[in-house]
């Protein structure tokens, strides 16, 4: 029997609703991102955004999928990691729908969902994943029943670094695409702190140095170019080491920062050097959205995983490697 799952994503500034079938067909995927005119994301404002726009987005997703609520077999929601108020608002909607429709509820790990939607789209079986977004920077690969974090940022995420730099130099949010555009006309490379520690990396030193150089009058184009080359070079180094050690043959790039063409080009080069296939998740599935939650919910449900409402509390600090990947027991 084909199952249809409604997935709700709401870990940070975006709220999304997606509808996916157990055959891997994405029937609907709509979202809205809170983008403050100035400053960063306030968790309370983001959760208010979700509670105000969530019901409309859910209705829109069902309409786009051409389904009535009664045709949904299962509800999945992003249970963590993320901002507590945002997670709780999203979980409350998911519980209410599950109770109203009398359908099972599944809690999905947001980072795991980024990997699984990439595997669905690419057909990859067992990739090394570079997951780069506003809130996360991780190199992930399956080993011993879990998605292990082989490397990650020790401080801020790469998207956060680009956005914070952008804010300091007068760009609007999100700054990532603006930095990418400006970097194209950068000519001179300014050395910035290249901070790789084993398999982990750190972006805060680079951010401080780039802001200082900007205040000293260095051209914005040159700085954007230098920031990208340094930040992406660090990611390439640990991704390459992960591929070399795990001997996996697929490299997957996902998360909001995957929209960057220069990063894609650099990682394509890494994959080529190691005879690995490369896939960049398409823009509509790269950022935070509900389809990835719905699809991962289906995988979990089919493997027997479901949540009782009373124990469906959210997990703001849920790590990628704390979820048993029961649906991949064959690997
Ligand atoms: P997410 O957290 O997955 O919703 O992704 C949002 C993040 O992706 C923000 O930090 C954006 O600045 C970043 N981003 C989006 N497009 C690009 C791009 N072309 N280059 C670099 N970063 C980007
Ligand atoms: Mg994300």
Q: Following DSSP, what letter does each residue of 103-157 receive, concatenated? A: --EEEEEHHHHHHHHHHHHH--SS-EEEEE-SS-EEEEEEETTEEEEEEEBSSS-
214 and 98: one domain? no
Do 77 and 223 reside in the same domain of the chain? Answer: no
Q: Is residue 294 part of a domain?
A: yes
pTM over cut 0.85: yes
pLDDT attached to residue 285: 97
Structure tokens at 260: 């960057």
Q: Are residues 13 and 89 in the same domain?
A: yes
Here the CATH number for the domain that contains residue 314 is 3.30.420.40
Distances, alpha carbon 41 to alpha carbons 34, 88, 156, 330, in Å: 8, 16, 14, 40
* Ligand in nearest proximity to the CA of 134: 1
Same domain, 279 and 134: yes
pLDDT, residue 202, reads 98
Please tell me the distance between residue 182's alpha carbon and the centre of ligand 1 in angstroms. Answer: 15
> 135, 176, 207: which to mutate for ligand 1, most atoms within 8 A of CB?
176
Q: How many angstroms separate the CA atoms of 234 and 321, rounded?
A: 22
Note the ligand closest to the C-alpha atom of 158: 1
Q: Is residue 327 part of a domain?
A: no
CB-facing half-sphere around the CA of 148: CA atoms within 13 A: 10
> Tens-of-pLDDT digits for all 331 residues of the chain?
899 999 999 999 999 999 999 999 999 999 999 987 777 779 999 999 999 999 999 999 999 999 999 999 999 999 999 999 999 999 999 999 999 999 999 999 999 999 999 999 999 999 999 999 999 999 999 999 999 999 999 999 999 999 999 999 999 989 999 999 999 999 999 999 999 999 999 999 999 999 999 999 999 999 999 999 999 999 999 999 999 999 999 999 999 999 999 999 999 999 999 999 999 999 999 999 999 999 999 999 999 999 999 999 999 999 999 999 999 976 6
- Do 274 and 289 lie in one domain? The reply is no
Residue 329 belongs to a domain: no
Which residues, 6 or more positions from 110, have their beta carbon under 8 angstroms from its beta carbon? 9, 11, 78, 79, 80, 81, 82, 288, 293
Say if residue 230 is in the same domain as residue 274: yes
Strand, helix or coil for residue 258: helix
Residue for token digits 């991949």? 328
- Which residues span the domain enclosing 235? 126-283
pLDDT of residue 37: 73
| CA nearest ligand 1 atom 21, residue | 176
> What's the 326 CA to ligand 1 centre distance in angstroms?
30
Instruction: Say whether both 188 and 307 belong to one domain.
Output: no
Alpha-carbon dihedral sign for residues 34, 40, 46, 48:
negative
pLDDT of residue 40: 74
Q: Does residue 163 belong to any structural domain of this protein?
A: yes
Looking at residue 21, its pLDDT comes to 98
Identify whether residues 249 and 149 lie together within a single domain. yes
For residues 65 and 84, membership in a common domain is answered with yes
- Which of 162-171's residues contact partners 24+ apart within 8 Å by CB, and which partners? 162/227, 162/231, 162/257, 163/40, 163/134, 164/40, 164/207, 165/207, 165/210, 165/211, 165/227, 167/38, 167/39, 167/40, 168/211, 168/214, 169/211, 169/214, 169/220, 169/223
> What per-residue confidence (pLDDT) applies to 331?
61
331 inside domain:
no
| Ligand 1 center to 173 CA (angstroms) | 10
291 in a domain, yes or no?
yes
43 touches ligand 1 (CB under 6 Å):
no
CA of 125 to the centre of ligand 2 (A): 21
Residue 245 has a pLDDT of 94
Q: What is the pLDDT of residue 330?
A: 61
Number of domains in the chain: 2
Using DSSP's 3-state secondary structure scheme, residue 184 falls into: coil
Q: Considering just the CA atoms, what is the radius of gyration of the chain in Å?
A: 20
Ligand nearest to the CA of 293: 2
Q: How far is the CA of 153 from the centre of ligand 1 (A)?
A: 16
**Using CA of residue 206, residue 281, residue 172, residue 90, what is the dihedral sign?**
negative
Q: Is residue 121 part of a domain?
A: no
Residue 330 lies in a domain: no
Ligand 1 pocket residue status of 82, Cβ below 6 Å: no
Domain co-membership, 274 together with 167: yes
Q: Do both 316 and 244 map to the same domain?
A: no
Same domain, 150 and 270: yes
287 CA: nearest ligand 1 atom = 3
């Amino acid at each position: 029997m084909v199952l249809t799952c409604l997935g709700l994503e709401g870990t940070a500034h975006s709220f999304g609703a997606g509808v996916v079938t157990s055959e891997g067909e994405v029937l609907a995927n709509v979202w809205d991102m809170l983008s403050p005119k100035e400053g960063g994301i306030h968790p309370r404002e983001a959760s208010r955004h979700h509670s105000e726009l969530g019901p409309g987005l859910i209705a829109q997703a069902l309409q786009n999928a051409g389904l009535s609520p009664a045709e949904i077999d299962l509800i999945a929601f992003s249970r963590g990691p993320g901002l507590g108020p945002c997670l709780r608002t999203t979980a409350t909607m998911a519980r209410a729908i599950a109770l109203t429709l009398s359908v099972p509820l599944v809690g999905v790990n947001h980072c795991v969902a980024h990997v699984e939607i990439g595997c669905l789209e690419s057909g990859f079986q067992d990739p090394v994943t570079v997951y780069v977004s506003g809130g996360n920077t991780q190199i992930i690969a399956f080993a011993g029943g879990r998605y292990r974090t082989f490397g990650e940022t020790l401080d801020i995420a790469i998207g956060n670094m680009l956005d914070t730099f952008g804010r300091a130099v007068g760009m609007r949010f999100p700054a990532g695409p603006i930095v990418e555009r400006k970097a194209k006309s950068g000519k001179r490379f300014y050395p910035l702190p290249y901070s790789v520690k084993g398999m982990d990396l750190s972006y805060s030193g680079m951010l401080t140095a780039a802001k200082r150089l900007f205040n000293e009058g260095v051209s914005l184009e040159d700085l954007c170019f230098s920031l990208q080359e340094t930040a992406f070079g660090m990611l390439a180094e640990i991704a390459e080491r992960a591929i070399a050690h795990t001997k996996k043959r697929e490299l997957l790039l996902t998360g909001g920062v995957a929209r960057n063409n220069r990063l894609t080009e650099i990682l394509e080069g890494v994959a080529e050097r190691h005879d690995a296939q490369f896939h960049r998740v398409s823009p509509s599935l790269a950022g935070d959205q509900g389809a990835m939650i719905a699809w991962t919910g289906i995988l979990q449900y089919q493997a027997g995983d479901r949540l009782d409402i009373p124990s469906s509390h959210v997990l703001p600090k849920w790590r990628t490697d704390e979820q048993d990947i029961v649906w991949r027991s064959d690997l």
